[in-house]
Amino acid sequence: MIIHLNGMPGVGKLTVAKILAADLPARLIDNHRLIDTVTVCCDRGSLMYIETLLKLTKVVYEVLETLQKKEIFVFTNALSAELSEDRERFNAVQTLADRRGVPFVPTLLTCTLEENKQRLVDPARASKGKLMDIENLASLYEKYTIYHPTTHHNAIVINTTGLKPAQVADRIAQHIKDIQ
């Protein structure tokens, strides 16, 4: 099974993914591990950055494809519907599930902009090199919507506003039980 958590920066994807991965158990494939590797050699947002990220992702997915089917993966991402490279990255995760012959569970995490702003400035985010600029976040909300295939039979949307990460992880775990 592949569970894909997608949402705006600061919505709680990694925190929820860590809990979910520990509970299932599953391998956590956090988008920042790939992004951080690429930003060592490329400026973020450049054409070279996107090309390198796609190449690195392809290599990682090729390895993941060879692992035992019983292994569960939890992915995190912040992929927009408006950017073709983001849709391509989302589709690569779904294709990985198809090639492995395992269920794909696209999961959209949302919260109010006000709560998102509060979460974004958590000092723990700074040590991970994550976005902490509230104005940048507000700009992302204006320009982009997070990609989510609402017609996918395993899709779930969870509004995390006012919820603790463990509650969100529990809702995802229950959804997984319901679709099996």
How confident is the model over 13-40, as a mean pLDDT?
95
Residue at token pair 């090729």: 62
- Between CA 37 and CA 19, with CA 104 as vertex, the angle to 5 degrees is 60
CATH number reported for the structural domain that contains residue 73 in this entry: 3.40.50.300
- Structure tokens belonging to residue 151: 């017609």
Structure confidence at residue 75 (pLDDT): 98
How confident is the model over 9-36, as a mean pLDDT?
95
pLDDT of residue 67 exceeding 90, the answer is yes
CA distance 116 to 93: 25
CA distance 127 to 129: 6
pLDDT tens digit string along 108-151?
A: 999 999 999 999 988 888 777 788 889 998 999 999 999 999 89
Q: Which domain holds residue 115?
A: 2-179
3-state SS of the chain is CEEEEECCCCCCHHHHHHHHHHHCCCEEECHHHHHHHHHCCCCCCCHHHHHHHHHHHHHHHHHHHHCCCCCCEEEEECCECCCHHHHHHHHHHHHHHHHHCCCEEEEEEECCHHHHHHHHCCHHHHCCCCCCCHHHHHHHHHHCCECCCCCCCCCEEEECCCCCHHHHHHHHHHHHHHHC
CA distance 55 to 51: 6
Structure confidence at residue 55 (pLDDT): 93
Please tell me the pTM assigned to this model.
0.94
User: How many domains are there within the chain?
Assistant: 1
pLDDT of residue 76 exceeding 80, the answer is yes
Structure confidence at residue 24 (pLDDT): 95
